[in-house]
Amino acid sequence: MRHPDAGFSGHESAGPDASAPASHRGSGGDLVGHRGRGVDDGRLAVRYLACRAGPRLACGELPADRRPRRGQGAVECEPEELTVDWQSLGTPIAAVCTAILTYLGTRHVTKVERRREEARLAEVARDEALVVEQALSVAHEKARAAIILERNELLERWQRTLDEARDDRQRLLHEHRAEIARVREEARDEVASVRESAQLIIGDLRRQVVQLRSDLQASRDQWRYDRPNDL
């Protein structure tokens, strides 16, 4: 009968082989059978769990004369035989640390890439917003220039209309004044001619009145002269 600790030697820590008992080849080896065999249960549990954790994780290899043989009873294990091989723990610890560092590094790289992508997208959005703003500014300037041009054209047309209206007003005013002056001159000439005609007529009438008066006086004188002779 093989000793229950035979499966925990350094040569067999990498995994169960044909020489290991069946109770130690699978997972969850039974520790109940070790009770009462002169080996501390706690130390056996530590060695068992350390050996089950991975290859060469615990219990350094025992010398050939210290290894238990088939058919032997319980073997007293010294404390130094039960110590954990910490150098063997370096490989899984390094693997775990490498996995953790790889995860953290991948996460950091992912965050950095995401931040770079967000920064790139933000920059692209800013560039697009700047392009849109520039296009809006150009369109606004064009619309403003078109409005200013149309306003200037309307102002020029309005000013031209005002100038034409002012010129027409001045021309009509001059024509009206000239017409008024002409009518006044004609009226003045007509009044003068009427006055001259009236003076001529009045002079003629005065001469006729004087002639009539003189004729009347002569008739009176003749009548007075002839009357006494008739008496």
Q: pLDDT per residue over 48-100, tens digit each?
A: 445 544 444 444 444 444 444 554 444 444 444 445 566 677 788 888 888 89
For the chain, the domains span 4-84, 87-210
DSSP per residue, 34-82: GTTSSS-HHHHHHHHHHHHHSTT-SSPPPPTTTSPPTT----PPPHHHH
Helices (H), the chain: 22-25, 41-53, 79-82, 86-230
Task: Note whether 50 and 57 are within 8 A (CB).
Answer: yes
Structure tokens at 192: 């003068």
Structure tokens at 160: 């031209």
Can you tell me whether residue 225 is helix, strand or coil?
helix
Rg of the Cα atoms in the chain: 74
Q: pLDDT per residue over 180-213, tens digit each?
A: 999 999 999 999 999 999 999 999 999 999 999 8
CA distances from 165 to 56, 68, 156, 173, 223 (A): 116, 133, 14, 12, 83
Which of 1-10, 90-99, 140-149 shows the lowest per-residue confidence on average (mean pLDDT)? 1-10
pTM for the predicted model, two decimal places: 0.36
Task: Note whether 34 and 4 are within 8 A (CB).
Answer: yes
